[in-house]
Each structure stands twice: as C-alpha cells, then as structure tokens.
Amino acid sequence: MQSVNILAAILIASMPLAATAGEALTQEQMSEQIIGKELTATRKGVNVRLRYLPDGEVTVKMLVLSFSGTWDFEGDSICMTMLSGPRKGSNCVTFTALGGNKFLNSEGLTMTVQN
C-alpha cells in the first residue's frame, strides 16, 4: 500500500502544473495549455484566431485573411516566423497566466484559449 502511495505522489509531482494568475508560463506549461489549441484575441478592433500546431506550423486568421509560418521554443518564449502578412518576419513572445483560459502575451495582447 505504501508503494502505491509513493508511486501516486511521484506521478502527481511529475505532471505539469497550470500556471497561477500572474505567473509567466514555462515551455512545459505552454506545451500543455497553448500548443494545439485555438487562441482568440482582438487587436485594433479586429478579431484574430491563432493556432500553434504541434508540428511547428502556426496559423493566423483574421477577417478574410489567413497567414501561416513556423514556430519553435526559445527558452520560455514561443518564436514564430511568418512568411507573409502584416507580421511577416520573426518575433518571440512569452505568455503570462491571467486565470482560467486567458493569457497575456508579452506584446500586451490578451488571448483566450478556446476549448
């Protein structure tokens, strides 16, 4: 019985923890909470949908426009290189948990993870 409790404690300790409000996300937390999920935001009055796909592709959709590129981790930042569009080129962002399914990126954009 004691070995089962020890095993359970080890498994729980090794699981990635969700970031608490105000905490910057680590690479592991971003993988769990952001990668593969649709993020939505409003930038300058325009609705934006963004998705960092697990295969390293990133897609951005707004109004009738769509853009794509690639992304990778650089420490605890997500760096993306867009091939076209208004954000063409490379940039890196970090994410801070706001609570629930909301995150603030380092460019000041509040993003909501859609379930």
Q: What is the pLDDT of residues 20-29, one digit of tens each?
A: 667 899 999 9
Q: Which residues contact 67 (CB under 8 A, 6 or more apart)?
A: 59, 60, 61, 82, 83, 84, 85, 87
* 13 found inside a domain: no
Any domain includes 87:
yes
Mean pLDDT value across residues 102-106: 96
User: Is the residue at 78 inside a domain?
Assistant: yes
Joined tokens for residue 56: 């390293």
- Look at residue 58 and tell me if it is in a domain: yes
DSSP state of 90: E
DSSP for residue 115: -
For the entire predicted model, the pTM comes to 0.78
What is the overall mean pLDDT for the chain? 85
Which residues form the domain of 58? 18-113
Other CB atoms within a 10 A radius of the CB of residue 91 amount to: 13
Structural domain contains residue 50: yes
In the chain, the number of structural domains is: 1
Residue 85 maps to which CATH number?
A: 2.40.128.640
